[in-house]
Every structure is written in C-alpha cells, then in structure tokens.
Amino acid sequence: MLASGTVNLPQSRLLVVTGASRGLGVALSLAALETGYRVIGVARSAVAGLPYEVRACDVSDAGQVAKLFRSLHHESGLYGLINAAGIASMNLTLTTPPETMQRLVATNLLGTMYCSSAMGRLLARRGCGRIINFSSIAVPLGLKGEAVYVGAKSGIEGFSRAFAREMADFNVTVNVVAPGPMRTALIQGVPEPAIETLVRSQVVPRMAQPEDLWHLVAFLLDEGSSMLSGQVFHLGGV
C-alpha cells in the first residue's frame, strides 16, 4: 500500500496536487486518498478516470493559476499544496535552445512560485496549512547535462526557504522534497549510466519507490510537523 505514512487529520482536509495526471503526481494523489485526505488534482488538461477531480491549469501561466485558486476559495478544509508538476530536458547548456530554457524555468520555478503564492494567500486566511515543493538530487550533485534544470530547481529551494519565513506567522509550513531518480516519465530521456551514477551517489544507493516518497510527504503534512519549515529533504540522502 502506498499510504504507509500515518498522519493525524480530520477526514475533511483537502490537498491540491499539481502534475496530478501522471507519474509522481498520480502516485501521491492516490496515496493521499488512501490516507484519508480529499484531493483536487491539477494538470494541463482535465483528466477523467481517476478517483479524484483533476482541474485544467497550466502552472506556468500566471493567469490560469490565479483563476484556478480563485475557484478554490470556498472549498472547505483546504489544507495543503503539493507542487509535483515538473519537466526535465537533458542537454548541455551550450546546445540547449532558449525556448527550452524558458519552458524549464517557467514550469518548474515560476509554476511553483505562482501556485505557492496563490495557495499561500488562501492558507494565510485559514491560519494553518502545508506547502510542499519539489527539487531534485541533481541540485547538490550538479548533474552534467542538466544545468538549466538544476538552475530552476535551485531556485525552488531558495524561494522555499525565504517563503517559509514569510508564511511562518500564519502557521503555514513550506518545505522541499528533493528525491533521487525514480521510474517516471521525467527521466525517460536520461541515459541509464547517468541514472546509475546518481543512485550510487546517494547515501542509500537504491532507487526510491513511490511509497518511500509518500512516507516523507505524509510526515511533512502531519499536523505534528509544525516545527519543520524552510527545509530541503533529500530522499536517498546526499
């Protein structure tokens, strides 16, 4: 079972999960449902057939993000945001087209900022909540061929540390989860030797499974984790 983490929560708590139509976003959403949370997913287009609602929103578009979170204003039990939306493109910086750079920064960094800001305003009014953003082990390891991606993810870490201080007065925590490589569409373009090098570089030299990721996310969502904020947690260790 994915939902191996235990949390103390009323059944009415609502999580918003971006990137919820595939990969880790789906895994986290399903695990959250199993644990007892309600989930509203966010993806570039609405998706049917999942056991939770998925609303259409391109997180790199500030106007769409603002519209989405306005629609959440009256949702009861709004409690947390998991910014799982992200894209990657492995290429040397010297040969990376400017439009690819823009897309990586817009989705990974700006998308995280837009959603965190919009959700932060809603949670501040409620006086509690959790925001979890996603970075990558590629940041501390400085992965060759991922410099633009690493730049965007580094920005998420710096933003989250500062944003955590801004949200502390509202009893809202902001943390970052930075996993190593996991078997999702995000690493399909990464050569296998590069993946193996990353895994060997971890303190725990094995590829994480979705339940490993959920265990950490569930811990950070728990109401007992109110003293943890502005931190980056490397799943697998560096």
Residue numbers annotated as active site: 149
Q: Give the whole-angstrom CA distance, residue 122 versus residue 170.
A: 11
Q: How far is CA 176 from CA 130, 153, 236, in A?
A: 11, 10, 14
Q: Give the whole-angstrom CA distance, residue 236 versus residue 202.
A: 6
Q: Give the whole-angstrom CA distance, residue 216 versus residue 220.
A: 6
> Which tokens go with 16?
């918003």
> Which tokens go with 91?
């290429």
